[in-house]
Structure 1
Amino acid sequence: QTLAARLPGYMVPAALYEIGELPRTANGKLDRNALARFEASPESEAPWVEPSGEIEVLIARLFGDVLGLARVGADDDFFALGGHSLAAVRLIARLSEQLGRKVALAALFLSPTPRLLARLLTGDADGDPQRDASQRETANDELQALDGLFDALD
């Protein structure tokens, strides 16, 4: 919780592991493959929620494709699953292609789960499926402007 209070959500580790000592290879170097095998214990994992709706299912599938995961739930955080800025750019490019419209990169940082991103993209953030297209366009325009700010910082 201390990290969550000081860091943006995408920088907070998804899990912390206490290990006796770092695994080493035969020649004494850090064994990165052994470290990669650590998994959260079942009692500490949040329950997996199946994605629902066409857009949410598409986003979950693309998360999995980009991150090399077989299964992504509706509430799985892109960055907690191992996503980083380059993977985010790939994801947004593929999502934009699939939807036939430009999706702002900032959308993923604001809504890093399939459920939240789907709601943002469909304008259903408050559960109102009748939200009109002009509101969605306004939100997308604002995200595009935020993307422009990110570009200006580079």
Structure 2
Amino acid sequence: MDVAGLSSERSARGTRRIGSRHHPVRRPHAGVARPEPTGSGPSAPAIERPAGDAGPAAPDAADQRQADYFMRVLSQNRRLIEQRLDGYQKAIVTAQAGGDVDAVCHLRRMARIEEQDRDNLDGMLERLRSRFARRALAEQPALSPRPHSAVR
């Protein structure tokens, strides 16, 4: 039996006794524990920022851009889930017409999982919209009300 390079024979090439392994001493990588320079020597060059970015509005703008990005990503994922749900609904109808009870059961289970994912995404989107409401209301149209599940 040779599964994933493991042979059942003790004398197989590459097989060693556990006690004969060499365990090298592990050291941290060179950049992990670097001491901080102490003294008045030259420090690392500061990142040049435009004068307009300095101030309390800069993190807010960055947070807003990040929220916009995640809203787009989550909305895209929601659309993909809706497409998969449509496919499952069509497959359920086809399986019911063919009398395949096992397939119907499996497809309904998969559709329920997708509906739970959609509900989770809706919650995340709603929380993002409520927290970053100033631009979200102007840019994002409201989600279409989702139909009640036909999978029960």
Which TM bucket (shorter chain)? under 0.3
> Which has the larger Rg?
2
- TM-score (norm: length of structure 2): 0.23
Structure showing greater relative contact order (alpha-carbon pairs closer than 8 Å, 6 or more residues apart): 2
TM-score normalised to structure 1 length: 0.23
